């Protein structure tokens, strides 16, 4: 279950890495987009297209037969739909709930996708995170900025660096930024104190079944941007986990596993976790290339263990 496969960038797409690994294991792959799923008489049903994939940047997929199948008859459903996390996403997880109830293993668990907002869930681990405010109030955001001098503000439902602002006390654009993010006080948004170590990279750490991959992908912002996101030009540099990284993972990983999150990515800047990504974490292919890993293989080992 993913976004249009024709629109991905193959050499760095984590979903394709998973598909390639599934195919290496002789899995029968069925491809769905949101519009292919439905509930009928309480049963989750999908319009399936059989899929074959190749590790080829010019020609990476081929569709086969089209069928209508009961989603509960599938062994595993990989839910890889990107945010925004809107009501259509929530409705999709309801359908996947019914597939799970009928016997399919959904990765990640639909209830966890609803419960673990990728920005707000940092509040469950305040000892691991920078000082954070989630509010609708523009006055509270202004006070937070005045008290802390430099902050990062972002929406709760975005991805890929969209609508993330670094705001300095005295910035005359601050009011319009707060107005835009909160829709004049009608929507919740997040503010965090600015962490200067962003210049060294926003580290993406992948966790499989609660355990950290031993290397992180530090996404170093370009000279003309504050954001450590690959899609806006950040450079991905692999590095070993630090002692603090491991401590954060040891705190967060078991909680995610308990909630049915088999594959997650946490973001760490300096010594602080800033986000918990459970919808469609990326970084597999970059880390595989730099450290000769097979992260998708580790993931499928965990999935097969769940199925045993």
Tokens of 176: 């319009």
Q: Per the domain annotation, does 165 fall within a domain?
A: yes
Same-domain check for residues 238 and 185: no
pLDDT of residue 221 exceeding 70 = yes
Same-domain check for residues 301 and 202: yes
CATH assignment of the domain containing 278:
3.30.470.20
Question: Which one is predicted more confidently, 258 or 85?
Answer: 258
Same-domain check for residues 9 and 107: yes
pLDDT at 159 (0 to 100): 67
Same-domain check for residues 203 and 189: no
| Number of domains the chain is built from | 3
Burial 251-272 (b: 16+ CB within 10 A, else e): ebbeebbebbbbbbbbbbbbeb
Percent of the chain with pLDDT over 70: 96
Same-domain check for residues 226 and 267: yes
pLDDT digit string, tens, across residues 45-73: 999 999 999 999 999 999 999 999 999 99
Q: What average pLDDT does range 189-213 have in this prediction?
A: 96
Find out whether the peptide bond into 84 is cis, omega within 30 degrees of 0: yes
pTM: 0.93
Average pLDDT, the chain: 95
Is beta strand 202-208 parallel, antiparallel or unpaired with respect to 263-269?
Answer: antiparallel
Q: Counting beta carbons within 10 angstroms of the beta carbon of residue 196, is it exposed (0 to 12), middle (13 to 18) or buried (19 or more)?
A: exposed
Question: Which one is predicted more confidently, 167 or 84?
Answer: 167
Q: Per the domain annotation, does 177 fall within a domain?
A: yes
pLDDT at 227 (0 to 100): 64
State the catalytic residues.
119, 154, 204, 219, 227, 267, 275, 277
Q: Per the domain annotation, does 21 fall within a domain?
A: yes
Q: Per the domain annotation, does 102 fall within a domain?
A: yes
Instruction: Read off the pLDDT band of 236 (50, 70, 90).
Output: confident
> 45: domain range?
5-114
Are 177 and 141 in contact by the 8 Å Cβ rule? The answer is: no
Phi–psi pair at 135, nearest 5 degrees: -160, 160
Q: Per the domain annotation, does 124 fall within a domain?
A: no
Intra-chain end-to-end CA distance of the chain, in Å: 23
pLDDT at 158 (0 to 100): 72
Q: Per the domain annotation, does 40 fall within a domain?
A: yes
Same-domain check for residues 135 and 70: no
Same-domain check for residues 188 and 204: no
Instruction: Read off the pLDDT band of 84 (50, 70, 90).
Output: confident
Percent of the chain with pLDDT over 90: 90
Reduced to 3 states (helix: H, G, I; strand: E, B; else coil), residue 52 is strand
Same-domain check for residues 167 and 235: no
Same-domain check for residues 84 and 137: no
pLDDT digit string, tens, across residues 255-301: 999 999 999 999 999 999 999 999 999 999 999 999 999 999 999 99
Q: Per the domain annotation, does 45 fall within a domain?
A: yes
Q: Per the domain annotation, does 96 fall within a domain?
A: yes
Same-domain check for residues 280 and 217: yes
pLDDT at 75 (0 to 100): 98
Same-domain check for residues 201 and 269: yes
Same-domain check for residues 147 and 172: yes
CATH assignment of the domain containing 177:
3.30.1490.20
């Amino acid at each position: 279950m993913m976004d249009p496969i024709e629109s991905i960038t193959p050499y760095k797409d984590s979903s394709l890495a998973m598909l390639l690994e599934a195919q290496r294991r002789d899995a029968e792959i069925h491809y769905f987009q949101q519009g292919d799923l439905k509930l009928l008489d309480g049963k989750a049903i999908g319009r399936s297209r059989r899929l074959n994939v190749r590790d080829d940047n010019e020609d990476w997929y081929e569709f086969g037969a089209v069928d209508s199948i009961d989603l509960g008859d599938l062994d595993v459903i990989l839910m890889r739909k990107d945010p925004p996390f809107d009501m259509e996403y929530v409705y999709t997880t309801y359908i996947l709930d019914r597939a799970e109830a009928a016997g399919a293993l959904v990765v990640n668990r639909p209830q966890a996708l609803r419960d673990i907002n990728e920005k707000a869930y940092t509040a469950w681990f305040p000892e691991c995170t920078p000082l954070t405010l989630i509010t609708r109030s523009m006055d509270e955001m202004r006070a937070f900025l005045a008290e802390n001098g430099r902050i990062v503000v972002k929406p709760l439902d975005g991805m890929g660096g969209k609508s993330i602002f670094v705001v300095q006390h005295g910035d005359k654009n601050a009011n319009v930024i707060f107005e835009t993010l909160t829709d004049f006080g009608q929507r919740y948004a997040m503010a965090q104190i600015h962490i200067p170590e962003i210049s060294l990279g926003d580290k993406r750490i992948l966790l499989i079944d609660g355990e950290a991959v031993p290397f992180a992908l530090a996404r170093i912002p370009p000279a003309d941007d504050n954001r450590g996101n690959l899609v806006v030009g950040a450079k991905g540099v692999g590095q070993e986990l630090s002692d603090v990284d491991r401590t954060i993972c040891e705190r967060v990983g078991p909680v995610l596993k308990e909630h049915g999150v088999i594959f997650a990515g946490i973001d760490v800047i300096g010594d602080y976790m800033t986000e918990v990504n459970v919808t469609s974490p990326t970084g597999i292919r970059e880390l595989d290339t730099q450290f000769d890993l097979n992260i998708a293989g580790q993931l499928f080992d965990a999935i097969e263990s769940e199925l045993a």
